[in-house]
Structure 1
C-alpha cells in the first residue's frame, strides 16, 4: 500500500466518480493523507485499550462476578449504545466551533480516565458507571475524528481513506485481545493487570492525538476561499437521502446483537471456542482489517449505500453459522470471518456515506447522526437479545433474529432504492 505523507487532501475533481465500468487513473488510488494515518495510530492505541477489556468482559461479568445473561445484556447494551446520547452533540460542537481535533481529544481523554474506574469497580452499578463514562468519551470523539478524516481526504476516495483508518484501528482491536490473552495466560485471574495495561495504551493514544494530529477545519478553509460565511442547515442532516440512510441504519441496527453474545453461543457448544475465548475478538478484527481497504475501495467504485446493505449479509451468515450444528472449529472460524466482513462493509462505509450526503458545515453532525442511530438501535438489540436468550434459549434466539434480519435487509433495499439507483447511474 502506497501512502502519501501530506496533510493536505487531494484537490476535488469536477468529474463525477465512476461507479462501474472503466478505470480510474492509477495516480492516487492508494494514497491517503498523513492525518488519516496518524489518526489511525491514535485509534490503534485506543482500540488496544478498549478491546483488551471488551475481550474479557463477557467472562469477567458472567464468570468472575457471577452476573446473569440479562445483566450482561444490559451492560453490553450500555457498551454499544450509551454513546448515542452525546454523538450528535460532539459532531455539532466540532462543526460550530471549528475545532474537531480538540473535541475529539476531550472524548479520548474522558475514555482514558474511565479506565481508572475498572481497577476499583466490581459490581453491576460500578461497572455500569465506568462503561457509561467510557462510551460517552467514544460518543464525543467519533464524529469529530471522522470529520477530520473527511476533511483530509480526496472526496472520490473517501471510503478508501476510511478503510485505511479502520484497518489501523482494527490492528489495535486485534492486538488488544491478544495482550489480554497472554496476560491471563501468565497471570491467572489477572484481570486487574489487563485493566492497568488498558489504561496505559489509552493514555498513549491521547498524547499522540494532542501532540501530532493537525486540527484540519474544512468549513473555515472554504469560507476563506469564498469570502462567504457558511450556514449550518439542519435540513442537510435530517432531510433528503440522509433521512432514508438514518432509517435504514436504525432498522438494521435493531437486529445487530453484540459480538459477545455470538461468542458466548460458540463457547457454550464448542470446546475450541471456550479454550480460545479471548482470541475470538482477535479473529473478528483480523478479518475486519483484511477486508477494510478492499471493501472501502469497492464502496467508492460501486456505491457506498450498496455495500452498506450487502455487508449485512455477512452478519446474517454469522448468525446462521453460530446457531446451526457444525464442526466446532469450522463454525468458529466462519463466524469470525463473516463478522469481520460485516464490520468492514458497514463501519467506515456508513461514515463515508453520511459525509457524502451532507455539507461541509454539517459533516460532523451528519456523521454523528448516523452513528447515533446505530448506537441506539444496537443498545436496544443487545438488551432485548439478553431477554430473548433467557426466554427461548441461545440457538432459537439467534435463529429468530436471523429470520427478522432477512426481512429487514429486503425492507431496507426498498427504502434505499432511490439512492441505490443514483449510485448505479454514477451520480455523485
Structure 2
C-alpha cells in the first residue's frame, strides 16, 4: 500500500516551531516569478476582449489553453522529479522556460494564435515546476506544519500577484503604451527569481529513500481509496470552478462598474488572498485540511451568487472579491498540504501532480464550457446554471469524502 492510513491527514497535532528556510526561499522565487507573470497577464482580458474584439468562445478557448497547458506537464514534472530524485533541477527547467517566454510575447503581435502559443509555453513551464516545487516544500517541512508552510508560500506568491499589475501600470504611465518595456522588466524579474532558486534553495535528499520510481508505482497510488477519492473530489470541484478572468469580466459587467477598473479587480482577490493565506493555513493544520478546502468552495459559491446581483456597484464587487480571495486562501496550498500528509516521500511530486492535474484539466473544461454558455444564453442564465451545478457538486463531494 502506497498511501499511509495510520493517521488522518485532515487532523494534525498542534503547530509549533519555525518554518524551514526552504519555504521562504521558494516563496521568494514565486514572488519574483509572479511579478513577472502578472505584469503580462493582468491586461489580457481587456486586450483580448475589448481591443482584439474576441468572442467569449475564443476567450474561453485561450483561457482554457492557458489553464490546461499545465495539466499533463504537471504529471511529467512530478514523475521526472521522483524518478531522478532531483526536484530542484526539474523546477529550475520549468522556471527557466517561463522566463524565456517573456521575450517571445512581442513577437506574437495581435495574433490570437501567437498569443495562445506563447501562453501555452509559459503555462508549460508552470506545469513542469509546480509539483517539484511543492515537493521541495513538503519534504523540508515537519508534517504538523504543512498547512502553515504552504500558506506562507502562497502568501509570498500573492505579493507578486499584487505588485505585478501595479508595476505594469506605473511603467505604462511613465513610458506610454509601448509594451516593450513591460516585457523586458517582466523578464528581468523572472531571471532574478531563477537566480534565487539556483542559489538559495537546497534539496533535502536525506528525507527521501532513494528508489527506482516507475510508472507503475505512480499508478498504484490510485489503488488507495483515500488518494483516489481525494483526486476525484478535487477534479469534480475543478469542473465547476470557472477561470478568474471570467469572474472578473462578468463581475464588471453585472456590477456596472467602469471598464477601466477591470484590470484592478484581480488585485482585490490577491489582497484578500495575501492577508488570509497564512492564517488559514495554520487553521487547516489545526482543524483539518480537507474541511478548510471544502469550506473554500462554499465561499466560491458566495462569489458566484454575487455575480447575480444587478448593478450592485462597488459594494457587490467588494463582497465578490473578498469571497473569491478567501476561496483561494482555503484551497490553493491547502490541497497540497492535505495530500502531502499521506503521499509517501518517494512519490510526493507524482502524487501531488496527479491531484493537481485532475483539477487543472477540469478547470480547462470549465473555461471552455462557460465561454460557450455566455455566447449561447443570457449572462444571468449562465451564472445561475453555474451556481446550481456547484451546489450539486458540493453535495456529491461531501458524500464521496464522508463515505471514505
1:128 lines up with 2:116 in the alignment: yes
Q: Who is 1:184 aligned against?
A: 172
Q: Who is 1:392 aligned against?
A: 377
Deviations 1:88-131 (A, max 9, x none): 11011111101100100000000111111111112011011101
Select which of 349, 352, 371 maps to 2:356.
371
What is the deviation of 1:255? 0.7
What is the deviation of 1:386? 0.6
Unpaired segments ≥5 residues, structure 1: 1-13, 224-228, 420-428
Q: Who is 1:148 aligned against?
A: 136
Alignment length, in residue pairs? Answer: 395
- Provide the aligned C-alpha RMSD in A: 2.1
Select which of 310, 318, 343 maps to 2:295.
310
1:339 lines up with 2:324 in the alignment: yes
Q: Is the 8 A contact 2:292 2:331 kept in 1?
A: yes
Q: Which has the bigger relative contact order, CA under 8 A and spacing at least 6?
A: 2
| Cα distance between partner residues in 1 of 2:383 and 2:180 | 33
Deviations 1:328-362 (A, max 9, x none): 10111111111111111111011111211211111
Q: Who is 1:425 aligned against?
A: none
Deviations 1:114-164 (A, max 9, x none): 111111112011011101100110010000000000011010110110000
1:70 lines up with 2:60 in the alignment: no
Secondary structure class of the residue paired with 1:381? helix
Q: Who is 2:47 aligned against?
A: 60
Change (3 A) 1:329 1:242: same
- Map 1:134-173 to 2 at 5 A: 134-173=122-161
Deviations 1:4-45 (A, max 9, x none): xxxxxxxxxx9988949xx837x41xx211100010000001
| Cα distance between partner residues in 2 of 1:17 and 1:346 | 15
- Map 1:224-263 to 2 at 5 A: 229=211, 233-234=217-218, 235-263=220-248
Q: Is the 8 A contact 1:111 1:133 kept in 2?
A: yes
1:405 lines up with 2:366 in the alignment: no
| Cα distance between partner residues in 1 of 2:155 and 2:370 | 29
Change (3 A) 1:287 1:168: same
Q: Who is 2:3 aligned against?
A: none
- Map 1:258-337 to 2 at 5 A: 258-270=243-255, 272=257, 274-325=259-310, 327-337=312-322
Q: Is the 8 A contact 1:273 1:329 kept in 2?
A: no
Deviations 1:373-410 (A, max 9, x none): 11101110001111100011222211210111011001
Q: Who is 2:199 aligned against?
A: 211
1:197 lines up with 2:185 in the alignment: yes
Change (3 A) 1:218 1:89: farther
Deviations 1:55-74 (A, max 9, x none): 11101111222222211111
Q: Is the 8 A contact 1:39 1:209 kept in 2?
A: yes
Q: Is the 8 A contact 1:273 1:332 kept in 2?
A: no
Q: Who is 1:424 aligned against?
A: none
| Cα distance between partner residues in 2 of 1:124 and 1:16 | 47
Secondary structure class of the residue paired with 1:323? coil
| Cα distance between partner residues in 2 of 1:69 and 1:184 | 27
| Cα distance between partner residues in 2 of 1:81 and 1:213 | 28
Change (3 A) 1:114 1:95: same
Secondary structure class of the residue paired with 1:120? helix
Q: Who is 1:83 aligned against?
A: 70
- After TM superposition, which residue ranges in structure 1, 4 or more long, deviate above 6 angstroms? 14-18
| Cα distance between partner residues in 2 of 1:241 and 1:80 | 26
What is the deviation of 1:231? 6.0
- Map 1:9-88 to 2 at 5 A: 19=11, 24=14, 27-28=16-17, 31-88=18-75
What is the deviation of 1:418? 4.1
Change (3 A) 1:97 1:273: farther
What is the deviation of 1:200? 1.7
Q: Is the 8 A contact 1:101 1:216 kept in 2?
A: no
Q: TM-score, normalised by structure 1?
A: 0.87
Unpaired segments ≥5 residues, structure 2: 1-5
Q: Who is 2:342 aligned against?
A: 357
What is the deviation of 1:239? 2.6
